Amino acid sequence: MDLKLNVQSSPHVRDRISTSAIMLDVIIALIPATVWGILRFGVHAAIVVAVAVISAVLSETLFNIIVKKPNTIGDLSCVVTGLILGLNMPPEVPFFVPAVGSFFAIVIVKMLFGGLGQNFMNPALAGRCFCIISFAGFMNNFTSRMSVDAYTSATPLIILKSGNEVNLFDMLFGYIPGTIGEISAICLLLGAIYLAVKKIIDLRIPILYIVSFVIFIMIFGQGKSTNINYILGEVLGGGLIFGAFFMATDYATSPITPLGKVLYGILLGVLTGIFRLFGKSGESVSYVILISNLLVPLIESFTIPTAFGKEGK
């Protein structure tokens, strides 16, 4: 018997889960929000999303060619980054903006720091903020030629800030102005449920984020603390749902330790509360997540769990 046997260290079996399967699940989870955004805002929005994704894939390919590394687009993470960035674009933005944004997100934020999992900031969010700073006029224009009602240009947060009531039904089902992917809370939550059921995301971060944010605005909300319309409007508006479930849960830029996840969620909620109540910018969620990303190494450093049997020692 002439046997040729493979020899590798244990364990000799592996779970079916893989990096690309996880990324594919995130893409699947974003389909409802993407479809709804395109239905609401039309062909232009569809092209914006496509440009963001294609630019992300091309940027990563190009980078790998230049630095002579194997192409890593097969892990699908660049598709996720491009998709999230595309969904964070206003519907009528010129096509070069998502193209530049994706390039920045992939090359500067992700690949230059070592690629997948090595980035210290969420690439899609960093790309979005880069666009907001660079192309403020385009990025803050939420009018859409598809919807012609009276509130087209005023986002719910602006309405709330001016002391008026918002239509919660419209916010839930996505009849409000906003970026392509953030407008329908229902579509986003459907995706979030999918990710939670498939155990892709840890619900501690998004739930603590939202809960601590609600508690914060109830305490410091200046007389509006019991106004249900105000509180739900704040939760459903301004991309908080999108940010909490799809961006704050980004693996690479959130703490890996269980206690760290808890602290991180609370930090996000409190910072968002501060920015929303006392700040001027409407872009609180993006900046809050980016700032918190930077604190992740610090949070992890003091939340390393106690090893089994080492308690109290």
Partner 1 sequence: MYTFKHGVHPDECKELAKDKPIRVVSAGKTLVFPMQQHIGAKAKPCVKVGDNVLMGQIIGEADGIISANVLSSVSGKVTAIEERLVVGGQKVESIVIENDEKYDAIKGFGVERDFNSLSNEEIIRIVKDAGIVGLGGASFPTHVKLSPKDPNKIDYILVNGAECEPYLTSDYRLMIEETETLVKGLQCMLKLFPRAKGVICVEDNKRDAYDKITKACSSISNIETALMKTKYPQGGERQLIFAITGRKINVSVLPADAGCLVDNVDTVVSIGNAVCKSTPLLRRIITLSGDAYNETANLNVRFGISYKEIVDFAGGFKVNPEKMVSGGPMMGLPIFSLDMPVSKNSSALLAFTKDPLSNQNETNCINCGRCVSACPINLVPTRMLKAAKTGNFEEYIKLNGTECITCGSCSFVCPAKKPLTPYFSYMKFAVRGYLNSKKEAK
Interface ranges with partner 1 (CB under 8 A): 1, 3-15, 17-22, 72, 74-75, 77, 114-118, 202, 251-252, 254, 256-258, 304-311, 313
Cβ proximity to partner 1: between 1 and 43 the closer is 1
Would you say 107 and 59 are in contact if contact means Cβ atoms under 8 Å apart? Answer: yes
Nearest to 115 by CA among 252, 261, 296: 252
Cβ proximity to partner 1: between 20 and 140 the closer is 20
Cβ proximity to partner 1: between 250 and 283 the closer is 250
Least gap, CB of 77 to partner 1 (angstroms): 7
Least gap, CB of 270 to partner 1 (angstroms): 23
Helix (H, G, I), strand (E, B) or coil at 261: helix
| Cα separations in angstroms, 5 against 2, 11, 105, 155, 177 | 10, 16, 44, 64, 62
Least gap, CB of 192 to partner 1 (angstroms): 17
Cβ proximity to partner 1: between 144 and 254 the closer is 254
Cβ proximity to partner 1: between 22 and 160 the closer is 22
| Cα separations in angstroms, 309 against 36, 129, 302 | 51, 45, 19
Would you say 177 and 234 are in contact if contact means Cβ atoms under 8 Å apart? Answer: no
| Cα separations in angstroms, 105 against 47, 62, 86, 141 | 19, 14, 12, 22
Cβ proximity to partner 1: between 26 and 45 the closer is 26
Q: Which two tokens stand for residue 187?
A: 């579509």
Helix (H, G, I), strand (E, B) or coil at 202: coil
What letters, b where the CB count within 10 A reaches 16 and e where it falls short, cover 223-235? ebeebeebbbbbb
Amino acid at 59: S
Cβ proximity to partner 1: between 170 and 202 the closer is 202
| Cα separations in angstroms, 163 against 160, 194, 221, 233 | 5, 35, 12, 12
Least gap, CB of 67 to partner 1 (angstroms): 14
Nearest-angstrom CA–CA distance, 162 and 164: 6
Nearest-angstrom CA–CA distance, 236 and 173: 10
Nearest-angstrom CA–CA distance, 281 and 275: 8
Least gap, CB of 212 to partner 1 (angstroms): 21
Least gap, CB of 308 to partner 1 (angstroms): 4
Least gap, CB of 211 to partner 1 (angstroms): 21
Least gap, CB of 16 to partner 1 (angstroms): 9
Cβ proximity to partner 1: between 11 and 163 the closer is 11
